[in-house]
Amino acid sequence: MTREEILDLVSKMDNLPRLPQVAIKLMEISMDDQTSAKDIADIVMEDPAITAYLLKLINSPFYGLREKITTVSHGIALLGVDVVKNVVLSLAVLDIMKNKAANSPALRNYWEHSLYTAIAARLFAQQIGYPAPEKAFIAGLLADLGSLILWGIDPILYKKVLRKDDGGRGDRSAVEKAFYGLDHTEAGMALAQVWNLPEEYVGVISLHHNLDILADLEDETIKTLGEFVHLGSVVASIFILGEDGFKTGYLKSVASSLFSLQVKVIDALLLRSSRQLESLLVDADLGPLNKKSYFKILQDSNKKLGENNLRLTRSLMEHERMKQVREELLAMVSEDVKSPLSAIIGYSSHLLDDLPAKRSELLSQLQEIYNSGKKSLSMINEWTKLMEMEETDLQVSPIRGDMGLMLTEFLEMVAARVQKKGIKITHDFHSPMPSFPFDEYKLGHAFINLLELAMMLAGEGGEISLKSDVVTIPGESQPQTGQKRLFELCIEEHGPVSDDSKRTALRSTLKQPEKITRFSDHLNDSGVYLARSIINSHGGQVKIEWGREGNAAFIVQLPISWSSEAPANPVSAV
């Protein structure tokens, strides 16, 4: 099934989750400023099951009200119209998710993850005094709803996604795009628009994985809700996948940076998340689930932290040992290799000057000794320079990746869809492909977005060519040469430019950069926005160039470091 077919399926709501009528009516009526509390109560009471859920939940410890609420009107009077409306919407979504998880046991982790995300997002909102914490709860529930859609369309294919995603440790969005042509955020956005949900939820669904993009948003509501959901998702990952020695540290660092929350507050929120999930399961008749003990999480965290510290200590000891070996090797080369080699070069040079021209055979042999000696000494000097580099000059990163392997893997993942569309993909990845520090998951997401756009433009029977190279351009990063070096990837499509109205419209949008926004009605240009944001966070840029025949080429340029000495044969400047 193609991306367009999936979006069409979502728009028609065939075999996909549907909101109960009471929730739909509440969404519609809430847009009218003249809506009264009685209007809301009348709509809620049209559904006895929702009414019972609502009263049970708002009387539970989850809300902690001192006064007993016996009617919907009473609940609205105490909690307010917006809170009750959001609780009803939450219950509707929870019911959909619960039924899906019950029918598909493999979705249990997704179900639990969504609950933890929603609860933790609400707790973060409450902690900083956000005026509408229920919005954070709903946003957390809705954030990954698109995963249910993709699962429902092709469960077998989605199991492949989960395997490639390595249990939530990879970039699921990039893998989904490779297999389906769109990811769970785009599918979720489409469903949210069909449900006529507020734009703030559409925005959170789109961007909650991307803190860098959220930080630049002018819309404070989407920005703040997205940050709550991002933190909530980390909490969910800790409880569902377990602590790896880094997650709680990341959570505390980001929460402190975003909202100035102290470590002890984060610890308390983690514990409350665990307890509130248990309360929610009981009070909303949602259980049982495989709830993990927070104290078990702490034990795992301490254990993993100890293992990481041990590995780090071993690495440092190994580093010191290798440093000593390196120094000994340098001394040996200087004393035992370079000196005799220099003597051989000098003596052969002396003989070449004094040897009579008539001894041509001997002259030729001496010339070969002299040339080989100079070449060997030059190679040893270059090697010595590398060995003597200060550690501060080396780029070391825990997320160092291999660009060639990543690009090849993505081409393998899209192979089935490419074959189905009859698209021909060729690539010319220059060897050796540079390995430089980058976030493989984020950068992979950017590349797969651009590749997907190229596939859309090429259309059935079209062609796409991928070329990579290392280029030099004028710049200030290398004062000695006045040049800087870039890794460049070109994704170029070769397809008909006027046979399809959708492709023509997309080309028109891409030719007007000011129209490329974080999310749009057609969901086509968001790939460029996300790709640009990710590439920019790596210090690079994305350009769109147009050929004479109107075909597009997406040019990605990323800076890489090189030695201070210019290469013998630099690539032509772009």
Q: Give the pLDDT of the chain (574 residues) as one tens digit per residue.
A: 677 777 777 776 666 667 777 777 777 676 566 677 788 788 888 877 778 877 877 787 777 777 888 888 888 887 777 777 777 777 777 777 777 766 666 677 787 888 889 889 999 999 999 998 888 988 998 898 888 888 888 888 888 888 887 655 567 888 888 888 888 888 888 888 888 888 888 889 988 888 888 888 888 999 999 999 999 999 988 888 777 667 888 888 899 999 999 888 888 888 888 777 776 665 555 555 555 555 566 566 556 656 655 665 666 566 666 667 667 666 666 666 666 667 777 777 777 777 666 566 677 777 777 777 777 777 666 666 655 544 433 333 334 457 777 888 888 888 888 888 899 999 887 655 666 667 777 788 889 889 988 998 898 889 999 998 887 777 554 445 556 778 889 999 998 887 788 888 888 888 887 767 766 555 556 678 888 888 887 888 999 999 988 899 999 998 876 433 333 333 333 2
Q: State the Cα–Cα distance between residues 552 and 545, nearest whole angstrom.
A: 6
Q: State the Cα–Cα distance between residues 424 and 330, nearest whole angstrom.
A: 52
Predicted pLDDT at 400? 45
Q: Is the peptide bond before 479 cis (omega within 30 degrees of 0)?
A: no
Q: State the Cα–Cα distance between residues 474 and 418, nearest whole angstrom.
A: 38
Amino acid occupying residue 259: F
Q: State the Cα–Cα distance between residues 294 and 297, nearest whole angstrom.
A: 5
Fold (CATH) for 3-292: Hypothetical protein af1432 (1.10.3210)
Q: State the Cα–Cα distance between residues 277 and 510, nearest whole angstrom.
A: 45
Which candidate, 220, 208, 191, places its Cα nearest to that of 113? 208
Question: Phi and psi of 14, rounded to 5°?
Answer: -70, 120
Domain boundaries, the chain: 3-292, 316-391, 403-560
The alpha carbon of residue 500 and the mean position of all alpha carbons in its chain are separated, in whole angstroms, by 31
Predicted pLDDT at 564? 35
Distances (CA, A) of 395 to 250, 306, 434, 475: 22, 26, 13, 20
Residue 234 contacts residue 124 (beta carbons within 8 Å): no
Predicted pLDDT at 301? 59
Residue 87 contacts residue 54 (beta carbons within 8 Å): yes
Superfamily for the 403-560 domain: Histidine kinase-like ATPase, C-terminal domain (3.30.565.10)
321-353 in b/e form (b: 16+ CB < 10 A) is eeeeeeeeeeeebeeeebeebeebbeebeeeee
Q: Is the pTM above the cut of 0.75?
A: no
Q: State the Cα–Cα distance between residues 502 and 507, nearest whole angstrom.
A: 9
